[in-house]
Chain A
Amino acid sequence: MTPSERPPSVARGVGLAIALYAAHVAVVFVGAALARAGGAGAGLLGFASFLYVGVAQIVYMGPAIAIAYSRGRMDLVKGLCIAGAVVALLNAACWGAQMMPPR
């Protein structure tokens, strides 16, 4: 792929974020497997991080944004931040809907 054919860095930032979320999901499954093996605390932690992904993502999105920022890859930073903000707001909306009783 030539440089002109590469996706713009913003899209790459979003793609990187999606890859990180996929890794997060994988970690949750590993946690579940650990829980089955007797480490219930690890499984619970993984499940909680999934439920509270909007906040939990700071663990990996924070360093990813910081590294991209320090390297001056501002389009990548923008993509990561857009994805992170969307996930956080979706997470907030889901919990908000859960907390709002029917009229």
Chain B
Amino acid sequence: MTASRRILWPAIFVLAVAVDAAILTRGGAILGCIFGRHGRFDSAAPNRPAPPIEQRVKERVLGVAAGSDGVLYLRTEKALRARDASGAERWSHPMTDSDAPYPVVAPDGTVLAADREGLTALTPDGGVKWHLGPGQLRGPEGDERIYEIAVAADGAIYAAGWTLRAITADGRVAWTFGARIGMVPSVAVAPDGTVFAGGMDLHALRPDGTVKWKVERAWAGGFAVAPDGTVYWVYDFTPDRDRRLMAVGPDGVKKWELRLERAGRRPAIGRDGTIYVAAGPLYAVAPTGQVRWMFRPTTELEAPVVLAANGRIYTGRAMELFAVDARGAPAWTARVPADFAELKFFLAPDPAAPLYAINGAALFEVRDDPRGPLTAPWPQPGRDPGHTGSAQVRR
């Protein structure tokens, strides 16, 4: 018997065991690649206990942003509050309720916050820099509300409502754009300065407000933008329960779409370009549109995904928090009090800061040692701790 024939059967055995080991460890990704279908990691029992969770702010918190100096800006129902790293309040500015939950910290440290009275720019020490009232914000659609704010690297401010307004850093409305923005107003800035205006149609605008291209019936909002200019969002046409993760290239051509099981919000983009979105399960999707893995607990996940520098991925739903590792295996789960408001996570730039969870009832500090946001193209809603929504702004 030749040597090759002598090792043939042991080699087949070793190969079969290797296939088995690969399926056991990376089954979801492998099957997704082979069959173009969704793999699944069922939610096995988490392998670690939940970290300590403290309820720090008992006021209803709408959104959080942070400056590069580590100051935390909390947008509550009644005020914008600045807190330093120790939790002590530096200042607060009274505000009314808002459709724009997140304050935004511009690259120069200016803090922007919207309410029913307009848009206010505050200096880092709490002084009012400028204010635009409803009359100044009202656009062609006849509506002055603001749902989302983005800030480009040059300081240009984009405030999205039924009208998109471009506002200069000194508080002057440079132009407005109102064509069919309505329904899900949202805004983000691409690396080349292109402004994505969400809504029924997706418009890509040049910084001067002229239209580069548009995608009709895109139902676009809650963008994540890759370094190559590809824009991702969750298409959600509620009447048909038709939910998809969409990918459109910088030229306006649709790259792919992936049908999702449930409504999801705000994808995140990891270091290797993987797109993460919680829409029933937590999906990890390759930049080519193939599902790498899915994490499917008994709870239907919906919270915007955040990616931490400790390698963990955080998402959840209302009162349930989930942490999974980079392969989609569960790390821990925890429950917090909730009032059925949307659950959001926030990662501050300070590596020693905890993970913040907001669910409408309160702000919780989750001591999971996240070590700040992952250095990735779009690790959390708004991309950076300042929530600029801009792929241009350096972190």
Interface SS of B by simple majority: helix
Does B16 sit at the interface, judged by CB under 8 A? yes
Residues of A near B38 (CB, < 8 A) are 100-101
Does A92 sit at the interface, judged by CB under 8 A? yes
Interchain CB contact under 8 A, A74 and B1:
yes
Say which one of B22-30, B143-151, B239-247, B262-270 lies at the interface with A. B22-30
The distance in angstroms between the C-alpha atoms of A65 and B294, with both chains bound, is 38
How many of chain A's residues touch chain B, expressed as a range? 20 to 34
Does B367 sit at the interface, judged by CB under 8 A? no
Interchain CB contact under 8 A, B41 and A99:
yes
The distance in angstroms between the C-alpha atoms of A61 and B9, with both chains bound, is 13
Among residues of A, the one whose C-beta sits closest to the C-beta of B17 is A88
Say which one of A26-34, A35-43, A76-84 lies at the interface with B. A76-84
Report B26-54 residues with CB < 8 Å from chain A CB.
27-28, 31, 35, 37-42
Tell me the minimal C-beta distance from A81 to chain B in angstroms.
4
Tell me the minimal C-beta distance from B45 to chain A in angstroms.
11
Interchain CB contact under 8 A, B6 and A84:
no
Residue tally, chain B, CB below 8 Å to A: 27
Partner of A92, one of B1, B23, B35: B23
Partner of A101, one of B9, B12, B40: B40
Interchain CB contact under 8 A, A58 and B17:
yes
Interchain CB contact under 8 A, B24 and A55:
yes
Partner of A91, one of B6, B20, B37, B39: B20
Tell me the minimal C-beta distance from B344 to chain A in angstroms.
28
Interchain CB contact under 8 A, B16 and A84:
yes
The distance in angstroms between the C-alpha atoms of A74 and B9, with both chains bound, is 9
Does A69 sit at the interface, judged by CB under 8 A? yes
Interchain CB contact under 8 A, A55 and B17:
yes
Interchain CB contact under 8 A, B17 and A100:
no
Tell me the minimal C-beta distance from A66 to chain B in angstroms.
9
Partner of B21, one of A55, A74, A86: A55
The distance in angstroms between the C-alpha atoms of A57 and B22, with both chains bound, is 15
Interchain CB contact under 8 A, B9 and A77:
yes
The distance in angstroms between the C-alpha atoms of A52 and B20, with both chains bound, is 9
Interchain CB contact under 8 A, B17 and A96:
no
Report B1-25 residues with CB < 8 Å from chain A CB.
1, 6, 9-10, 12-13, 15-17, 19-24
Residues of A near B24 (CB, < 8 A) are 52, 54-55, 92, 95
- Given A74-B1, A96-B27, A101-B38, check contact A81 B9 (CB 8 Å): yes
Interchain CB contact under 8 A, A69 and B13:
no
Among residues of A, the one whose C-beta sits closest to the C-beta of B7 is A69
Interchain CB contact under 8 A, A84 and B37:
no
Tell me the minimal C-beta distance from B105 to chain A in angstroms.
41
Residues of B near A92 (CB, < 8 A) are 16, 19-20, 22-24
Partner of A85, one of B1, B12, B27, B40: B12
Partner of A89, one of B6, B20, B42: B20
Does A98 sit at the interface, judged by CB under 8 A? yes
Does A71 sit at the interface, judged by CB under 8 A? no
Tell me the minimal C-beta distance from A99 to chain B in angstroms.
4
- Given A95-B27, A99-B41, check contact A81 B19 (CB 8 Å): no
Interchain CB contact under 8 A, B42 and A98:
yes
Interchain CB contact under 8 A, A85 and B16:
yes
Residues of A near B22 (CB, < 8 A) are 92
The distance in angstroms between the C-alpha atoms of A69 and B296, with both chains bound, is 45
- Which residue numbers of A lie inside 8 Å of B, CB to CB? 52, 54-55, 57-58, 61, 65, 69, 74, 77-78, 80-82, 84-86, 88-89, 91-92, 95-96, 98-101, 103
Question: Which 5 pairs across A and B sit closest by C-beta, in order of nearness?
Answer: A54-B20, A85-B16, A81-B9, A81-B13, A88-B16
- Which residue numbers of B lie inside 8 Å of A, CB to CB? 1, 6, 9-10, 12-13, 15-17, 19-24, 27-28, 31, 35, 37-42, 294, 296
Q: List 28 A-B contacts (CB under 8 A).
A: A54-B17, A54-B24, A55-B24, A58-B17, A61-B13, A65-B10, A69-B6, A74-B1, A77-B9, A77-B10, A81-B10, A82-B9, A82-B12, A85-B15, A85-B16, A88-B16, A89-B20, A91-B20, A92-B24, A95-B20, A96-B23, A99-B27, A99-B42, A100-B35, A100-B38, A101-B40, A101-B296, A103-B37
10 more A-B contacts (CB under 8 A) besides A89-B16, A89-B19, A100-B31?
Answer: A54-B24, A57-B17, A78-B9, A82-B9, A86-B16, A88-B17, A98-B42, A99-B41, A100-B37, A101-B37
